[in-house]
Amino acid sequence: MIAELGLAALWLAAALALLQLATGVLALRSGTSDTGAILSALVRPVAILQGLLVSFAFLMLMWLFARTDLSVALVAANSHSDKPMIFKLAGTWGNHEGSMLLWITVMALAGGLIGLAERRLPEPTLLATLSAQAFVGLGFYAFLLFSSNPFARLAQPAAEGMGLNPLLQDIGLALHPPTLYFGYVGLSVAFSFAVGALVTRQVGPDFARAMRPWVLGAWIFLTLGITAGSYWAYYELGWGGWWFWDPVENASLMPWLAATALLHSVSVLASRDALRAWTIMLSVVAFSMSMLGTFLVRSGILTSVHAFAVDPERGTFILALLALYVGGALLLFALRVQTVTEGERFAVTSREGALVVNNVLLSAILGIVLLGTLYPILTEALGFRVSVGPPYFNPVGAIFVMPMLAVMAVGPLLRWRRDRLERIQKPAVFLIVMVIPAIILSLMVGYSGILPLLGVGLAAGLAVGSFLPLRGRNLLRVPLNVWGMVISHFGIAVALFGMSSEAAWSVEKLAALNAGDQTQVGPWTVDLTDVRPRAGPNWTAIEGTMLARYGEQDPIKVAPQSRTFWSPVQQTTESALLTRWNGQLYAVMGSQGDDDRWQVRLWWKPFVTFIWYGGILIGLGGLLALIGRLQGDWKRRHTERRIAERAAAA
Amino acid sequence: MKRLVIIIALLGLAGFVALAAVKMQQPRDDFVRSAMIGQPLPAFALPAASSEGEELTQADFRDGTPRLLNVWASWCVPCIAEAPQLSELQRQGADIVGVAINDTPENIAKFLADYGDPYSAVASDRMSQLQLKIGSSGVPETFVIDGDGVIRYQHLGDIMERDVPVLMAELRKAGL
Amino acid sequence: MIARFSVVGALLSLMVASLTLPIAAAATPHPPLAYRQLDNPSREAAAQELMETLRCLTCQSQSIADSDAPMAASMRHEVRTRIAAGEDPEAIRNWLIQRYGDYVSYSPQVGAATWPLYAGPIVLLLIAGLLIRHRLGGKR
C-alpha cells in the first residue's frame, strides 16, 4: 500500500509539473488580461504543491526502506533486514532509482521555495523561471516513471534483501551522494533562472540577485562534495593518492569549475549590471556539466571504476535529456542574443576586468578537463585507445591555473569600473616579494619538479594576497560576503600548498618486516611490534601493531589491517593514519611474502591535510558569503517596505 | 561574436551527443589487445616448469608447426574454467605450449595433476618477462604462433566452448 | 550495485572496484621488485614517477603504482628492473607502448592519434586571448 501511495504521489507531482508548465506558459502569453492574472496566480501554489507531493513520495520510499519491504524490487535489490537503521534509510538514495527520486525531490522543493519566497523578480520572469523548472523536472519525472520506477513490486516478495555489502555501510557514503545532488540541483535552478530571464528579456541585476544564492549554495555543496570524495579516495584506496584525474573525478570537477566561474560573473551582473550574456552562457554550461557528469557515470561510456551496474538504456535517456535541455537553451539564447546587451562598460584595469580574465581562464581550464576526459571516447569510437592522465592534466592545466591564481591575488584589490595599476603597485610588489622567500625556502627543503615549486610560491603569494582586501578597514564593519571571499581565496592557497607539498616532499617506504623489525620513513621510526589475526562480525583481518615515533618524541600506536570480508568475498586495506599538524603518516598492512615477512607500506606526507582543510575553508567562505547575501537582501527588502509604508502614511 | 560562440557551443553539443550515441551502440570491450600481432616472437629463454623439461626459447616456435601459446597461472581461477577447452583443442590436434606466470613448480605440478595437462611443454615465467614482451595483459590468454614464430592471433580471457572452433580455424590459417 | 551512486559516489566505487580485484593477489606469488624499492633513491624516484603514469591494464582506472593486481605487480617489477639497469624511463614507456599501444601510458605522446589533445589547449589559449581582448580591448 505504501508503495502504491508513493507511486500515486509521484504521478500526481508529475501532473502538477505539467500543470505548472502549462499555466506558466499560458499566463505569460495572456499577459495582463484577467485570465492571465488568474493563471499566474496559480503557478506559485502549484509549484509548492508539487514540491510537497514529491517529498511525500520520497518519504514513502524511505518508509519502505525503513521497513525493509521485500515485495518492492528496489528494496529487495539494495537493502537487507539486518542492516542498521541508519544505513537502511541511506539505502533509499544509494541506488539509481532512489537517487533520481532524490534529485527530483530536491528540485521540486527548490521550485516550491522559489514560489514561496522569491519576490525580487518581475512576475513574468518568475513565471518563466518556474515554467522552465517544471519543464526540466518533467524530463526527470518521465525518466523515473517510464524507465526507473522506484516503487515497482516483485511478483513474489523476496525472502531476503541482497544489499548487505559491508563496504557500502559507511556514513560518508550515506551523505556523499546527496551532497553532490544538492549541488547539481542548485545549478539546475540557476539554469531555470537563466532561461526565465531569456524568455522575458530581463537579463539584469534583479535576475542575478535572485539567482545568486542558488549558485552559491550549489557551489558550497559541490566544493564539500569534492573535498570529501577526495579524502575518501585517499584513505580508502590504501595507496596514498588523493586525485588521479579519473573520469569520474573529472565529472565532479567540471560542474565545480563552471559554477566557480558563474559565481563570479553573477556577482558582477548583480552589483555592476555587466557581463549579461556571459552569465547566461555560464548558467547553461554549469547545468550541462552536471548533466554530463551524471551521463558519464550512469552510461558506463568511459572506462572508469564503475564499469559494472551501468545501464545503456538509462544512459540514452539522460543523453536525450541533456541534448533537449542544453540544445533548447542554446537555441533560445541564439534567438534572444540581440536583446541581451553587454550591459555596463568597464575599463581593462578594474575589478570587472580582473574577473573577466579569471572567468575566461576558468572556462579554459574547464575546456581542458572536458577535452582530456572526452578524448578517449572519441578515439575509441574511431577504433583505438588512448589514456589521458596526470602527466597531461597537471602541466597543461598549470599553464592556465598559474596566471589565474596571480590575477586572483591582485584582482580583489582593484576598484570597480575603473582603476589605475599604480594604485595597487605597492601591494602587488609586496606579494611578489612574498613569493620569492617561499620558493627559496622550498628549494632548501628539496627540489622535486617545477610545478610543486611554483605551487608553493603562488600559495604563499595568494595566502597573503587573500587578506589584503581587508587592509585599512574596520574589521567589524567588513560585510560578511567580503569575509567569505577572503576566506575562500585563502582556502585555495591552503589547498594549493597542501597539493604542492604532497607532490614534492612525500616519502614512500615499502618494507618487508618480521614482528620486532624497525624501519624509517621520513622523520618517523616505525617498529612492527606484533602481527595477529582479528575477527569482526563479517570479516577476518591481519592486524599489524606498529609503534611510530616522530623524531625523538613518544611512540604512538597505529594498527592498520588487511581485511577479508566473506560475504561477498572482498579484500580491503584499512589504512592507519597518524595526523600531525605538519602532515600525516599513512600506514598500510600488505600480505605475507615468500620469506614470511610482512609487506608494510608507509608514507610520510608533509602538510597533505592542508588539501582538505583548504577545501573546507573554501566551502566555509561560500557559506559566509551566502549568509551575507541573504542578510543583505533581507535588509534591502525591509528598508524598501519601510519607505513604502512611510510614503503611504504621508 | 556572441552568436558565433553560441553556434560553436551548439555544434559541440551536437558532436558530443552524436559521439556518445555511436559509442553506446558499440559493445563494451575491456580487454587490452596486444600490439604485437603480426610480429615475430621476441627473443626469450624461459626455464621449464619441471626439472625434466627443457628450456623454452623463441627458436622452438620456428620449426614450421603452428602452435597455441597459452599464458596461465595456477593461482588464476578462470584458468581452471578453460582447462577442459584446452584439452579439447589438444584432442583436435593443436600443439599447446603453456607459460605459467608468477608461479612455483609445486603449484604448477599440482594444477596440471588436478585439471589435466594438455601441454606439449610448460615453461615458467616467474618475472612475467615473456608476458610483457608479447603484450599480454593478463591471465589467461592464448596466442596463435605460426610455424615461422610470428604472432598471428590473440585470445583474451578464458577459452569457452564457442572459442574452440575459432582457435582451430586460426591455427589452420597459420598453416596447420 | 555499487556503481549506482552519484558522480563522486562513484569515486567510491573506484575504491570498491579496486579492492575486489586483488582477492587472488593475496595468494599470488609476485616478482621480487613488485613490492621492494630500489636501493638507489634517485633511481627509485625515477621508477616511481614512471609507474605513476603507466596504466594497470587489468584494473578499471588505476596506475600500476596504485594497484595490488598481479599484472600491475609484474609491470612494477619490470620497470624497477630496467631502471636499475640504467634504462631511460621514456625508453621503457616506449617499449611498453610498442607492446600494448598508447593505452598503457597515461602520458599521451604527441602523435597522429593524440595531437588534438595538445592543439586543443593552444586553441583555447587563443580563444581566451581573443575573448579577453574582445571584452576589454580597444573599442572603448
SS3 A455: helix
Residue recorded with cell 638507489: C40
Q: Which set of grid coordinates corresponds to residue A148? A: 526507473
Query: Would you state the torsion angle of the CA atoms of residues A195, A197, A203, A206, taken in this order, to the nearest 10 degrees?
Result: -130
- Residue A418 to chain C, least CA–CA distance (Å): 12
- Please tell me the distance from the alpha carbon of residue C33 to that of residue B131, in angstroms, as a whole number: 16
For residue C122, give every residue at least 6 positions away whose Cβ sits within 8 Å of its Cβ, in sequence order, or none.
Answer: none
**A180/C contact by beta carbon, under 8 A:** yes
Average pLDDT, chain A: 90
DSSP per-residue string spanning chain C: -GGGS-HHHHHHHHHHHHHHGGGGGGG----GGGS---SSHHHHHHHHHHHTTBB-TTSSS-BGGG---HHHHHHHHHHHHHHHTT--HHHHHHHHHHHH-GGGBSSPPSSTTTHHHHHHHHHHHHHHHHHHHHHHSTT-
- Inter-chain touch C7–A593, beta carbons under 8 Å: no
- Please tell me the distance from the alpha carbon of residue A342 to that of residue A87, in angstroms, as a whole number: 51
- Please tell me the distance from the alpha carbon of residue A257 to that of residue A531, in angstroms, as a whole number: 46
pLDDT of residue C132: 80
pLDDT of residue C107: 92
Kindly give the pairing relationship between strand B67-72 and strand B96-101: parallel
pLDDT of residue C1: 25
Whether residue A302 has pLDDT greater than 70: yes
| Boundaries of every domain in chain C | 2-109, 110-140
- Which residue is closest to C27 within chain B, CA to CA? B75
Give the model's confidence band at C140: pLDDT under 50 very low, under 70 low, under 90 confident, else very high.
Answer: very low
For residue A339, give every residue at least 6 positions away whose Cβ sits within 8 Å of its Cβ, in sequence order, or none.
Answer: A201
Whether residue C15 has pLDDT greater than 60: no
Q: Which set of grid coordinates corresponds to residue A5? A: 501511495
* Pair A46, A20: CB distance under 8 Å: yes
- Please tell me the distance from the alpha carbon of residue B106 to that of residue B128, in angstroms, as a whole number: 18
Whether residue C28 has pLDDT greater than 80: no
**Computed over its alpha carbons, how large is the radius of gyration of chain B?**
21
Write the residue in B6, B13, B19 that is nearest to A377 by C-beta: B19
**CA diameter of chain A:** 95
For residue C48, give every residue at least 6 positions away whose Cβ sits within 8 Å of its Cβ, in sequence order, or none.
Answer: A508, C65
- Please tell me the distance from the alpha carbon of residue A140 to that of residue A104, in angstroms, as a whole number: 7
Considering only the top CATH level, what class is C2-109? mainly alpha
Write the residue in B1, B35, B128 that is nearest to C100 by C-beta: B35
Q: Across-strand partners of A512?
A: A599
| Boundaries of every domain in chain A | 1-158, 420-505+610-628+633-649, 507-606
Residues 63-122 of chain C whose Cβ lies under 8 A from any Cβ of chain A: 63, 65-67, 101-108, 113-114, 116-118, 120-121
| Boundaries of every domain in chain B | 45-173
Whether residue A366 has pLDDT greater than 80: yes
Read off the pLDDT of residues B17-50 as tens digits, 9 standing for 90 and up.
999 988 888 777 778 889 999 999 999 999 998 8
Whether residue A487 has pLDDT greater than 60: yes
Whether residue C11 has pLDDT greater than 50: no
Q: Which has the closest alpha carbon to A591: A561, A567, A565?
A: A561
- Residue A522 to chain C, least CA–CA distance (Å): 13
Torsion sign over Cα A30, A33, A39, A45: positive
Query: Would you state the torsion angle of the CA atoms of residues A363, A368, A372, A375, taken in this order, to the nearest 10 degrees?
Result: 80
Average pLDDT, chain C: 78
Read off the pLDDT of residues A219-255 as tens digits, 9 standing for 90 and up.
999 999 999 889 988 888 788 889 989 888 899 999 9
Tell me the range of A45-49, A379-383, B32-36, B104-108 where mean pLDDT is highest. A45-49
pLDDT of residue A485: 95
**C128/A contact by beta carbon, under 8 A:** yes
- DSSP annotation of A468 reads G
* Pair A142, A15: CB distance under 8 Å: no
Q: Across-strand partners of C63?
A: C55
Mean pLDDT of B77-81: 91
Whether residue A448 has pLDDT greater than 90: no
- Please tell me the distance from the alpha carbon of residue C61 to that of residue A390, in angstroms, as a whole number: 12
Mean pLDDT of B167-172: 95
Q: Would you call A480 exposed, middle or buried from its count of C-beta atoms within 10 A (0-12, 13-18, 19+)?
A: middle
Q: Which set of grid coordinates corresponds to residue C81? A: 628492473
* Pair A359, A277: CB distance under 8 Å: no
Read off the pLDDT of residues A114-132 as tens digits, 9 standing for 90 and up.
999 888 888 899 999 999 9
Strands (E), A381-486: none
What homologous superfamily is domain B45-173 in, according to CATH? Glutaredoxin (3.40.30.10)
Read off the pLDDT of residues A528-554 as tens digits, 9 standing for 90 and up.
999 999 988 778 899 999 999 999 999
SS3 A526: strand
**C58/A contact by beta carbon, under 8 A:** no
Q: Could you report the predicted ipTM of this complex, rounded to two decimals?
A: 0.89
Q: Which has the closest alpha carbon to B50: B103, B87, B88, B12?
A: B103
Q: Which has the closest alpha carbon to A160: A65, A266, A77, A278?
A: A77
Write the residue in B34, B73, B137 that is nearest to C58 by C-beta: B137
Return the exposure string of A271-308: e unless at least 16 CB atoms fall within 10 Å of the residue's CB, then b: ebbbbbbbbbbbbbbbbbbbbbbbbbbbbbbbbbbbbe
- Inter-chain touch C128–A364, beta carbons under 8 Å: yes
- Inter-chain touch C37–A247, beta carbons under 8 Å: no
Q: List CB contacts (< 8 A) between C124 and chain A.
A: 364, 367-368, 400
- Residue C31 to chain B, least CA–CA distance (Å): 5
Mean pLDDT of A75-89: 87
* Pair A158, A80: CB distance under 8 Å: no
B·C CB contacts under 8 A: 67
- Residue C139: phi and psi, rounded to 5, are -65, -5
- Which residue is closest to A506 within chain C, CA to CA? C45
SS3 A550: strand
